Amino acid sequence: MCILDLIWINLSMLAAEYKAVNLGQGFPDFSPPQFITEAFCKAVSGGPPMHQYTRAFGHPALVQSLAKFFSRIVGHDIDPFEDILVTVGAYQALFCAFQALIDEGDEVIIVEPFFDCYQPMVVMAGGKAVYVPLRPKEGTAVLSSGDWVLSAEELASKITPHTKAIVINTPNNPLGKVYKREELQMIADLCIKHDLLCFSDEVYEWLTYDGAKHVKIASLPGMWERTVTIGSGGKTFSATGWKVGWAMGSGHILKYMKTIHQNSIYHCATAAQEAVAQGFEREHELFGTPQSYFQQLPAMLHHRREKLASSLKGVGLQPIMPEGGYFMITDISSIGESVDFKDSDTKDENYDFRFVKWLIKEKGLATIPVSAFYSPEHSKEFDKYIRFCFVKENSTLDAAEEILKKWSQNESSH
Ligand X SMILES: *[C@@H]1O[C@H](CO)[C@@H](O)[C@H](O)[C@H]1NC(C)=O
Ligand Y SMILES: Cc1ncc(COP(=O)(O)O)c(C=O)c1O
Name the site residues for ligand X (rule: CB under 6 A): 303, 363, 394, 406-407, 410
**What is the SS3 assignment for 296-354?**
HHHHHHHHHHHHHHHHHHHCCCCEEECCECCEEEEECHHHHCCCCCCCHHHCCCCHHHH
- Work out which of 24, 28, 58, 89 binds ligand Y, going by CB under 6 A: 89
CB of 324 to ligand X, least distance (A): 20
- Helical (H) or strand (E) element with 13: helix 2-17
**Measured at the alpha carbon of residue 310, what is the angle toward residues 341 and 338, in degrees to the nearest 5?**
20
- Give the nearer residue to ligand Y in terms of CB position, either 236 or 350: 236
Residue nearest to ligand Y (CB): 89
Quick one: what does residue 89 bind among ligand X, ligand Y, none, with the CB cut-off 5 to 8 Å set by partner type?
A: ligand Y
- Give the nearer residue to ligand Y in terms of CB position, either 169 or 238: 169
Quick one: what does residue 171 bind among ligand Y, ligand X, none, with the CB cut-off 5 to 8 Å set by partner type?
A: none
CA atoms of 341 and 368, how far apart (whole Å): 17
One-letter amino acid at 283 equals E
Distances (CA, A) of 307 to 92, 141, 144, 210, 294: 33, 21, 16, 15, 21
Q: How many CB atoms lie within 10 A of CB 189?
A: 15
Quick one: what does residue 240 bind among ligand X, ligand Y, none, with the CB cut-off 5 to 8 Å set by partner type?
A: ligand Y
Please give the backbone phi and psi of residue 320, each rounded to the nearest 5 degrees, phi first: -95, 110
- Work out which of 22, 145, 170, 173 binds ligand Y, going by CB under 6 A: 173
CB of 232 to ligand Y, least distance (A): 3
- Give the nearer residue to ligand X in terms of CB position, either 223 or 328: 328
Quick one: what does residue 115 bind among ligand Y, ligand X, none, with the CB cut-off 5 to 8 Å set by partner type?
A: ligand Y
CB of 319 to ligand X, least distance (A): 18
- Give the nearer residue to ligand Y in terms of CB position, either 94 or 101: 94
141 in Cβ contact with 331 (< 8 Å): no
Q: Half-sphere exposure of 268 toward its Cβ, with a 13 Å CA cutoff?
A: 29
CB of 45 to ligand X, least distance (A): 28
CA atoms of 175 and 180, how far apart (whole Å): 14
| Contact between 58 and ligand Y per CB under 6 A | no
Cα 125 vs. chain centroid, distance in angstroms?
21
Mask: binding to ligand Y, 197-236, rule CB under 6 A, as x and -?
A: ----x-x----------------------------x-xx-
Quick one: what does residue 234 bind among ligand Y, ligand X, none, with the CB cut-off 5 to 8 Å set by partner type?
A: ligand Y
CB of 296 to ligand X, least distance (A): 12
CB of 234 to ligand Y, least distance (A): 4
Determine the size of the site formed for ligand Y (CB under 6 A).
Answer: 14
CB of 343 to ligand Y, least distance (A): 28
**What is the SS3 assignment for 396-410?**
HHHHHHHHHHHHHHH
- Give the nearer residue to ligand Y in terms of CB position, either 65 or 169: 169
Quick one: what does residue 406 bind among ligand Y, ligand X, none, with the CB cut-off 5 to 8 Å set by partner type?
A: ligand X
CA atoms of 33 and 109, how far apart (whole Å): 37
CB of 4 to ligand Y, least distance (A): 16
Cα 145 vs. chain centroid, distance in angstroms?
14
CA atoms of 147 and 143, how far apart (whole Å): 7
- Give the nearer residue to ligand Y in terms of CB position, either 23 or 404: 23
* Helices and strands: H and E segment counts in the chain: 15, 15
Summarize as ranges the residues that interact with ligand Y (CB under 6 A).
Answer: 26, 89-91, 115, 169, 173, 201, 203, 232, 234-235, 240, 245
